[in-house]
Structure 1
Amino acid sequence: MEDKVKFELEFPIQASPQLIFQYISTPSGLSEWYADNVNSRGELYTFIWDDSEEQAKLLSKKSSERVKFRWMEDEEDYPSCYFEIRIQVDEITKDVSLIVTDFADDDEVEETKMLWENQISSLKQVLGSA
């Protein structure tokens, strides 16, 4: 079984880290832009789209900085895979960026990147920074 490919994307975003963090770390925030609905029980998050449901485990979170999840379906075969959304603030300009780290099969990297671009575009609309 081949390992998945790790990639990173950076998105400039005009909103405060505290506000962004609400949207990337809470079920209600995530359901505004990432999935149709999100529920959580402790560290287990259930992401619901039209006709599919995926579960992810919250691996870590740091207030106003980052969240890191692993899809449950990857737990056995790809234990080192995860997806992370990190809020980065430039010390000098105070510009805010979101750094997305994710893993995908070799032939799905471009598709997955496009998916993230769409998702982050939705997030920017919700934040009013589009």
Structure 2
Amino acid sequence: MSEKKKFTMEYEIKSSPRILYSFLSESNGLTQWFADDVTVRDQVYTFTWDDEQQKAKLLLLKENKLVKFRWVDDEPQYYFEMEILQDELTNDVALGITDFATEDTIDERKLIWDNQIEYLISVLGA
């Protein structure tokens, strides 16, 4: 199995941190942009895409700030994180994504995030 590399991306999002947070942390919010269906039980989120399920354990939750998950079938050091960043001067809101991918899948992963976040922005009407 080849080594995964950490990568980060940032997207400007015209939304309040509170509203954005609900789309990152709540199953009904995530269902609107991230997966076809999302259920949560005991800190484990089950994401469904086209009848395929993937489970992720919730590692960290900071209200209106951060959501961090680890895919249950992945190595313990890998995770994906969605962080709400707010500029103190301008109050501009951005979404920071941290994820891991192998060298040969990193461009694909970034493209997937681009598409997902573009969809999130349209759902938010931002």
Q: Same fold (TM over 0.5)?
A: yes
- For 1:35-86, what per-residue CA distance to the aligned partner results, in whole angstroms no more than 9, with x for missing partners? 0000010200000011311000000000000000000110xxx211000000
SS in structure 2 opposite 1:34?
coil
TM-fit CA distance, 1:116: 0.2
- SS at 1:124 equivalent: helix
| Alpha-carbon distance between aligned partners in 2 of 1:3 and 1:51, rounded to the nearest angstrom | 28
Gaps of 5+ in 2: none
Distance in 1, Cα, partners of 2:48 & 2:2: 28
Correspondence for 1:47? 47
Distance 1:23 1:53 in 2: 19
Structure 1: which 5+ residue stretches go unaligned? none
| Separation (CA, whole Å) in 2 of partners of 1:109 and 1:88 | 23
Q: CA deviation at 1:2?
A: 3.2
Deviation of residue 123 (structure 1)?
Answer: 0.5
Stretches (4+) displaced over 4 A:
none
- Aligned-partner SS, 2:73: helix
Q: State the shift of 1:3 in Å.
A: 2.2
1:21 aligns with 2:21: yes
TM-superposed CA distance for 1:120, in Å, is 0.4
SS at structure 2 position matched to 1:107: coil
Tell me the equivalent position of 1:58.
58
> Counterparts of 1:13 and 1:80 in 2: how far apart (Å)?
28
CA distance in 2, matches of 1:6, 1:12: 21
1:121 aligns with one of 114, 118, 123 = 118
TM-score by length of 1: 0.95
**Of 63, 74, 90, which aligns to 1:93?**
90
- The letter for the 2-side match of 1:32 is Q
Q: Are 1:82 and 2:79 matched, yes or no? A: yes
Q: What is the rounded CA distance, in whole Å, between the counterparts of 1:42 and 1:106 in structure 2?
A: 33
Look up the SS of the partner of 2:84 in the other structure: strand
- Indicate the RMSD between aligned Cα atoms, in angstroms: 0.7
Query: How many residues are paired up?
Result: 126
Shift of 1:122: 0.7
